[in-house]
Structures are given as structure tokens and as C-alpha cells.
Chain A
Amino acid sequence: MSKKRKKRTKWLKNFKFNKRSNRYINPYVGGFFLGLLIIVALYFSGEGLGSSGGYRDVAVAVLDKVTPEYAHNNSYIGPRLASGESPLKTWLVFELIGVIMGAILSAAIFNRLHLRIGKAPHLTDKKRLLFAVIGGILWGIGTQLGRGCTSGLVLSGMAVNSLSGYIGLIGIFGFGFIFAIIFKSIWIKTNK
């Protein structure tokens, strides 16, 4: 093996297989490309980047399969089933399928595909999972009430200067800082 080649593989090894340290891309570079992606989505499809809308479409499809009559008569989701098209054949659902693929691709490249529970070290696994499900439930309600989540409501909303996006920003991040004080013990080890 030539010296040059050896050097290159060593670099690659450090980059890919260093288990002790997480390597993330520069946040400003990531943000810049995310911004360009929003423009592409708006230019071609007239859609913002969204997540919770796709979750809702899946929930609607499940109810349509399990209790079609109830689903069609429900005043919140009934109108979405009126066209007769599958609620899964939406732009947002396909975007979310892409999100899964893209995340796996990135994690594979950076060697982060591991089965594990992410949490602050002092928190027990049981507590972490309990808090995760409670947080999820709150998001499920909040996104339907507030018309979107961090990506669809706030990020894409801010991109088009919508008042709604900025109200969402104040809601999620503004109140987030208040709740952060109340629930500090989930993330920060406090000496009792």
C-alpha cells in the first residue's frame, strides 16, 4: 500500500469509526442547505417542509381502515376523506418516507446507527421512556391545535414571513424556556 493511500484510509477510519465522539456537520452549513431546501420545496411543490401533517395523514388512514364510518363522519378528519383518494397519497407522507431514508443514510455514513436510549446520563431508562411518551402526547395535541410543528408551522412559516410562523415560534420556544425551568431535573443533574 502506498504511503498516500495509507494516509487516506487512516483519515477515513478516524472519521467513520471513532465511537467515542459524535461528528456533526457545521450548524451554519446545515442551516444554509436546509434554507435552500425550503425554497426548492416551495418553488416546485408549493409546500413547506413539514412533519406533523404527515403524522396526521397516517392517523387518518388508520381510522379510515379501522372505523371507516366514524372517520367519514368525524368533523375534523371527515373532510380529508371526502375526495375518495387514499389519505396516504399525499406529498407530506412521501416527504416523511424520504426523511426516514435520509436520516438512515446520514447515520450510516457517520456511524451512528445504534440501538440505544438517548437521555441525560443521570436519568433512568424507565423515566426517560415515560417522559418521551408524555412529551409525544403533548405534541400530538399541540400540532393539531396549533396547525403544525417546528418544521411546518414555524420554520416554513418564518420562511414566508407568515404571522402564524412567528406566533408558533413564540409559543414553542418562548414557552419552552419557561417549561425548561420547571422540568430542569430531566436534563440537568441537580445536587440534592
Chain B
Amino acid sequence: MGPLYPQEIINSEFNILIGLFIGVVFGFLLEASGFTNTRKLAGVFYGYDATVIKVFFTAAMTAAIGLLIMHYLGWIDVKLTFYPKTFWIPTLVGGAIMGAGFIIGGFCPGTSLCAAATGKIDAVVFIGGVFLGIFGFIFTYDSLFSGLRMSGKMGETDIAQWLGISDGLFIFIMIIVTFASFFVFQKWQDSHTKDMDQRDLNELGLKKPE
């Protein structure tokens, strides 16, 4: 039963090798999906490109459904994984800061690494900024951030349990939300792409609506 490494079924060298392999596939999929193109990433916020929503929600729901099935079959105990502890206040505040960073900088950390690796100079500069921010956070942690970072502590909280419903029902609701968002964002994209220059369409890898 999984997860294998936390239960010492595989050793740490093999585990790190798996990490490398997973990284290769992760980087490949991000690049191949167009996530090194900063205009595609920003496009989700302005409606002209729905790719981010499609990739992101398809991935989250595929994984959530798969893990739910594996849980019922007794193949994996998710609570033995990295399962995140919830600190709702700093995550919400940090999330808002990241949201601003997304709009202003046009990347997130994973996508900027792919973009920098494939020759985007703006992504290299962005990564420099990320390290500046991390160093700044470390240097000012005690005086500025430590209280906020540890506030709103809720432990390893499952959102379905927190809402008082089963995991299965929560995922079912999320699947409906996912399909609804695909529909809405596709319509929004179509309303932009129908009047878009062919040059812009080519750069974004999009087609006009049929």
C-alpha cells in the first residue's frame, strides 16, 4: 500500500531518482501545454485564453478522482503523504500576494523555471525576483512574518470533512464546477478570439471559434 517512500518500502536514493523523473515529465507537460508563454498565462485573467483553467482543473480533478478510487481500494493512505496542514490566514494573505505577483510578473515559480530554461529572458529576471523575495522573507521572518505565518492554525484539514460532507460528494460537486468553468471560460475565450489578429492567434496557439 502506498505511499511507498514514507513507509520505507523504497530507499531514499531511488526516491530521489523518481523525483527527477517526475520533474522531467512535469516540465515537459508544462512546456507542451504552453505554460512558458506568459501571454497565455495572463490570458486566463482577461478571458482571451482559457488554457490555464482547462489544464489546471483537469489535472486537479483527475488526481482527486484517482486518489479517491485508490483510497477506497486500499492502495494509498493519503494522510501518510505530504498532506498539507492548513494555516488559513497566512495562506489567504500569501495567496493574495501571489495573485498580485501572477498579474504583475506573468508567471508562477514552476512556469518561470520552464520558461527560463527555454530561453525567456523575462523569466530569468522573474526567478531573480523570487530569490530576492525569499531572502527578504528569511531576513525579516522574526521581526515581520513569524506571527502571521503561524496564525489561523487548523491542522491537516480535509475540505470535505470541514464542510461536513463525504469526500465523494465534494469531488462530485467539484466536477460539476469544473465543467461549468470550462464552458464559461471557453465562451469568454471565443468572444475574444473571434476578433483577434491571426498573428496573436498564432502566438497563443489558438484558433478562431468555428
Return chain A residues, CB-CB under 8 Å to B70: 39, 43
Q: By the criterion CB–CB under 8 Å, are A22 and B20 in contact?
A: no
Q: Is the CB of B32 within 8 A of A175?
A: no
The answer to whether B128 touches A136, judged by C-beta atoms less than 8 angstroms apart, is: yes
Residues from chain A with a CB closer than 8 A to the CB of B104 are 131, 134-135, 138, 179, 183, 186
CB of A44 within 8 A of chain B?
Answer: yes
B97 near A51 with CB under 8 A, answer no
Do A171 and B99 have beta carbons less than 8 Å apart?
Answer: yes
When the two chains form their complex, are residues B39 and A115 in contact, meaning their CB atoms are under 8 A apart? no
- One digit per residue, 1 when the CB lies within 8 angstroms of any chain A CB and 0 when it does not, for chain B 17-32 equals 1111111111111111
Interface mask (B86-127 → A, CB under 8 Å = 1, otherwise 0): 111011111111111111111111111111011111110111
A165/B22 in contact, CB under 8 A: no
User: Could you tell me if B58 and A31 are in contact, using CB atoms closer than 8 angstroms?
Assistant: yes
Complex contact B205–A24 (CB within 8 A): yes
Instruction: Please indicate the chain A residues that have their CB under 8 angstroms from the CB of B73 in the complex.
Output: none
Number of residues on chain A facing chain B (CB within 8 A): 122
Q: Mark A5-22, 1 if CB is under 8 A from B, else 0.
A: 000000000000000111
Q: Please report whether the interface of chain B is mostly helix, strand, loop or mixed according to DSSP.
A: helix
Q: Which residue of B lies closest to A168 (CB)?
A: B95
Are the CB atoms of B36 and A107 closer together than 8 Å? yes
Residues of B contacting A118 with CB < 8 Å?
Answer: 36-39, 106, 115, 120, 122-123
Contacting pair B84 A148 (CB below 8 A): yes
Given contacts A30-B55, A44-B10, contact A140 B136 (CB under 8 A): yes
Write out the residue numbers on chain B whose beta carbons fall within 8 Å of the beta carbon of A186: 42, 103-104, 106
Q: Which residues of B contact A187 (CB under 8 A)?
A: 39, 42-43, 45-46, 103, 106
Name the A residues within 8 Å of B112 (CB-CB). 136
**CA–CA, A162 and B79, complex, Å:** 10
Q: Which residues of B contact A58 (CB under 8 A)?
A: 131
Pick 17 A–B contacts, CB within 8 A, sort by A: A22-B203, A34-B59, A34-B62, A35-B58, A35-B59, A47-B19, A49-B22, A55-B109, A95-B22, A95-B23, A103-B117, A105-B27, A105-B28, A106-B32, A110-B31, A147-B85, A172-B108
